[in-house]
Structure 1
Amino acid sequence: MRTNTAINYQQYFEKGISFEEYLKRFAAEIALGEGSPFAQYLPQNWQRQNRLIRKIKLNEDLQKAIDDLKQPVNWLLITEHWCGDASQINPVILKAAEESNGKIDLRISYRDENEELIDAHLTDGRSRSIPILVQLDENYNLLNTYGPRPAEAQLLVMDLLSKGEDYNIPLHTWYAKDRQKAIQEDLVKLIESAV
C-alpha cells in the first residue's frame, strides 16, 4: 500500500471530472489536430479506448469482488489522453465503476495539471507513469493504489528499457494477447483490499 498523508485527497476527488467529461475533453483535444503537442498519439488511443469501452465485459471474479463491497469506495484515476497504457486500462476501470451500482464513485484527475498528486504516487519512487488508480474510502482516506500497468507488462517495459529498446509495439501486442485479463485480476485485488 502506498501512503501519503500530506495529500488532501478529498480536494482532488471533488475537483476531479467524470469519465464522460474526460471523453469530451479527449475529443476536443483530437479536434485541435497539430495544435496538440500529443497529436501523434491521440487518434490511436481514442480508437483503442472506445473499442474497449464498447466491448469490455467484466469477468466473474471482478464482478463478485464489486458485489462483495460492503462500503462504497472512491476511485481517483490519474491519467492523460496521450497515454497508451491509459487507453488499454481506463475502459476496464470505467466498466467496473459502471457495474458497481454506485458502490464505486470514479473521478478523473489529469497528471500534468496535478503534480503534487502524481508525485505522491511515483512508480518505483521516481517515474510519473500513468495511469494510477487511487482507491479511497468514503472519507477520502487512502486505501491503496494500482498502476501504471499490470506486473507482467511492467516487467516487459523495464526489460526493454534496460536494453535501450522501444517498448510501444511489444507492450500493445502484450495487451492485445492478454485481452484485459491481468487488469481485471489486478482490480479484483485492489477492491478486495478495501473489504
Structure 2
Amino acid sequence: MEANPNVITPEVLAQGLSFSQYMDQVREAVAQHRTTGLEQSRLLTDVTKNNVPIMERTYQTPLLPELVDLIQHLPVPMVWLVLTEGWCGDAAQNVPILASLAEKSTQITFLTILRSEHPAVMDAYLTNGGKSIPKLICLDARTLQPLGSWGPRPQALQEAILPLKKSNLHILETIRQAQQISDADKGQSLQKELLTLIPAWVQAAQKD
C-alpha cells in the first residue's frame, strides 16, 4: 500500500465532514467571499462560487445500476475518506458522485477533509509527486487499514485534461475547457473505474 496506515487516525476521521456538511462549508465560504481551507485568493474564491452549481448538478448524476448493486452487497464495512477543497474543479465534478454512491450503501461511511488542513494525509497520497485532489482513500472501517485509493480524475479524462494543464491557456480558460470535458463524460468513466476498484478493495480487506 502506498501510505502508512497510521497517517489516518481516528482523530483525523473525527474531523471529517459528511458530504452535506462539506457542501454547507463550501456555501458558507462563498457567502463570506472566501474559499475553503487555508489557501485564499480572489481566483480561488471565484472558482469556488462557480463550483457550487456544478456540485449540485453532479450530485444528481445517474448511477450505473451494476455499481449500485455492487456497493449494496459489500461484505465489509468501509470508510471513504476524500481529500478535497471547494475551489477544485475536479472535486466539483467527482466528489458529489462518490457521495451519492456511498449513500446507497449501509457499509460505507463517507467523509471529507480539506487538503490544506491535513498535509500529512495529502503527502501520503500524492499523485506523481503532486498534491492532486480529489483523492479518495478507502479504509477498512474495522482497522483503518488503507485498502486503496482513487483520484484525482478518471484515467480517460486524465489523458484529455493533462494537455490543457500543460498548455499556455489562461487558467480560467483551462478550467472552462476541463469542465466541458468532464461534463460530456457525465460521470461514466469514474463509475466504470469503481466497478474494478471496489472488488479489489474488498479483496484486500478480506485478506487482512
Aligned residues: 192
CA RMSD of aligned residues (A): 1.8
Task: Give the superposition deviation at 1:66.
Answer: 0.4
Distance 2:72 2:31 in 1: 39
Q: Which amino acid aligns with 1:186?
A: E
Is 1:99 matched up with 2:80?
A: no
Q: Which residue in 2 is equivalent to 1:14?
A: 14
Q: Structure 1, residues 144-170: CA drift from partner, whole Å, max 9, x if none?
A: 000000101112232233444453233
Partner secondary structure for residue 109 of structure 1: strand
Cα pair 1:73 1:137 within 8 Å, conserved: yes
Show CA shifts across 1:12-35 (max 9, x none).
222211112111111110101268
- Give 2:55's aligned residue: 49
**Aligned AA (1:153):** L
Matched, 1:135 2:142: no
**Counterparts in 2 of 1:5 and 1:99: CA distance versus 1, 3 Å:** closer
Q: Is the 8 A contact 1:9 1:141 kept in 2?
A: no
Flag the structure with more relative contact order, 1 or 2, with Cα contacts below 8 A and sequence separation at least 6: 1
Paired amino acid for 1:27? R
Percent same amino acid among aligned pairs? 28
Q: Which amino acid aligns with 2:55?
A: Q
What is the deviation of 1:176? 1.3
SS in 2 for 1:189: helix
Classify 1:169/1:140 alpha carbon distance in 2 versus 1 (closer, same or farther; 3 Å).
same
Q: Structure 2: which 5+ runs fail to align?
A: 203-208
Aligned twin of 2:64 = 59
Q: Partner residue of 2:190?
A: 183
Say if 2:74 is the partner of 1:69. Answer: yes
SS for the counterpart of 1:129 is coil
Q: Structure 1's 43 and 66: CA in aligned 2 closer, same or farther, altered over 3 A?
A: same
- The corresponding residue for 1:146 is 150
5+ long unaligned stretches in structure 1: none
CA distance in 1, matches of 2:32, 2:99: 25
Q: Cα–Cα, structure 1 residues 113 and 99, in superposed 2: closer, same or farther, change >3 Å?
A: same
Residue by residue over 1:1-60, the C-alpha shift from the partner in whole angstroms, topping out at 9 and shown as x without a partner, is 53324413433222211112111111110101268622210121001101222x222112
Offset at residue 81 of structure 1 (A): 0.4
The residue that corresponds to 1:117 in the other structure is 121
Match of 2:205 in 1: none
* TM-score, scaled to structure 2: 0.85
TM-score (norm 1): 0.90
Give 1:84's aligned residue: 89
CA distance, structure 2, for counterparts of residue 56 and residue 157 of structure 1: 21
Q: Which moved more, 1:141-150 or 1:176-185?
A: 176-185
Aligned mates of 2:9, 2:97 — CA distance in 1: 22
